[in-house]
Amino acid sequence: MLCGNYEKGLMEKILVLNPDWCKGCGICAAFCPKDALEMIQGKVSLKENNQCILCGLCEQRCPDYAIFVSDSGK
Amino acid sequence: MIKTSDLVFRTMRIDHLPHIWCPGCGNGILMRDVAAAIDNLKLRQEKVVIVSGIGCSSRAAGYLDFNTIHTTHGRAIPFATGIKLASPELEVIVITGDGDCTAIGGNHLIHAARRNIEITVIVFNNNIYGMTGGQYSPTTPAGEWGTTAPYGNIDRQFDIPQLAADAGASYTARGTAYHTQQTIKAIQDGIAHPGFSLIDCYSPCPTYYGRKNKKGSAVDMMKYQRDHGVPAEQYAKLSDEEKTDKFIVGKLSQNEYPGYTQLYQQLIERSQERSQKKVYL
């Protein structure tokens, strides 16, 4: 999942979602400052119009560690 | 390959994840805060001991990848006291719940605070006994409901940091699952503080506390924390009326009392000196 800054070559960071660990509580989507996430069939996913700014607030508030910003691009 | 962040990979046993806590439970967020605080302080893995009692919160000892010990109900603090006295160079962190800490282990909490032993107690406070089915705990607010309070709870609730501070704890703070940055900082300061430190962290329990008291979903409970938790400076400016439904997030009290292992070491040195004098007399 490539996001804004990655495309511009400013930062080699990406948002990674792990649906296997997601329990669908919706906390990440509710507190996303750019409203970039949505819940589809009880799992988190990135909205079509990619608004993510890689702030990492979802990573801090995900109780299941199912969403995070990765430096390495793994 | 398991997809997980570097922090989780470094500090947790990822073969045990995903954890068994309910969807929306704040304990996962708070466990990450503890891991992040330890990681920020750059403590070595073999120097950290995590001790936990029994309850939802105490599952954390099984997931964190340090020296961990899962003890009996309410007795996490006595185990931690023993570990700290035997090996004062270790960083002992107790993860406990509101019931475990203040009901079953209430006496242990006040006496550890009285001694001011250099351990850090992190309370995952979800206002109810979640694991056993929603019985009211010492932190369930008066007038709210639990499975053992079918007509409403008439008991007043404990203010855990106040209790600890009055018993002699030298650092107390409050965190929430919503205020992650402030909670990480409070835990970090608590670990670094040379004395008994207690961090009371509010954790939403949407399954029992939330459902029983019509608090809505996990998101609604987190929004409540966002709207009612204020920093100490801002809290001081509020009128008495506004203060009734607000609480302070961050440091609450800090004192410089001497630590227990420090005093104990001095006692050992004193008695050794005396015994040596006797031998040479």
Contact call for residues B201 and B30 (beta carbons, < 8 A)? yes
Task: Report the chain A residue with the minimal C-alpha distance to residue B33.
Answer: A60
What CATH topology corresponds to A4-70? Alpha-Beta Plaits (3.30.70)
Q: Which domain holds residue B207?
A: 6-280
Q: How far apart are CA B14 and CA B244, in angstroms?
A: 42
Nearest to B160 by CA among B233, B208, B118, B106: B106
The answer on pLDDT for A74 being more than 50 is: no
Check A68 against B8: CB less than 8 A apart.
yes
Averaged pLDDT, B175-201: 94
The reply to whether B1 falls in a domain is no
pLDDT digits (tens, 9 = 90+) for B50-101: 999 999 999 999 999 999 999 999 999 999 999 999 999 999 999 999 999 9
- Put simply, the answer to whether B18 touches A68 (Cβ < 8 Å) is no
* B2 strand-pairing partners: none
* DSSP 3-state of B93: strand
**What are the backbone dihedrals phi and psi of residue A46, each rounded to the nearest 5 degrees, phi first?**
-85, 140
Any chain B CB within 8 A of the CB of A30? yes
* A6-33 confidence digits (pLDDT tens): 555 556 788 888 888 999 999 999 999 9
- The complex's ipTM works out to 0.85
Q: Do A21 and B17 touch (CB under 8 A)?
A: yes
pLDDT value at residue A49: 84
Query: Cβ of A63 and B222 within 8 Å?
Result: no
Domain coordinates of chain A in residue numbers? 4-70
- Contact with chain B for residue A19, Cβ under 8 A: no
Per the domain annotation, does B262 fall within a domain? yes
Q: Which residue of A has its CA nearest to B221?
A: A27
The answer as to whether B67 is a domain residue is: yes
List chain A residues with CB under 8 Å of B177. Answer: 61, 63
Q: What percent of chain B has pLDDT over 70?
A: 98
pLDDT of residue B254: 92
| CATH number of the domain to which B33 belongs | 3.40.50.970
User: How many domains is chain B built from?
Assistant: 1
Judging contacts by C-beta atoms under 8 Å, the chain A residues touching residue B6 are 70-72
| Closest residue in B to A69 (Cα–Cα) | B5
Inter-chain CB proximity A23 and B18 less than 8 Å? yes
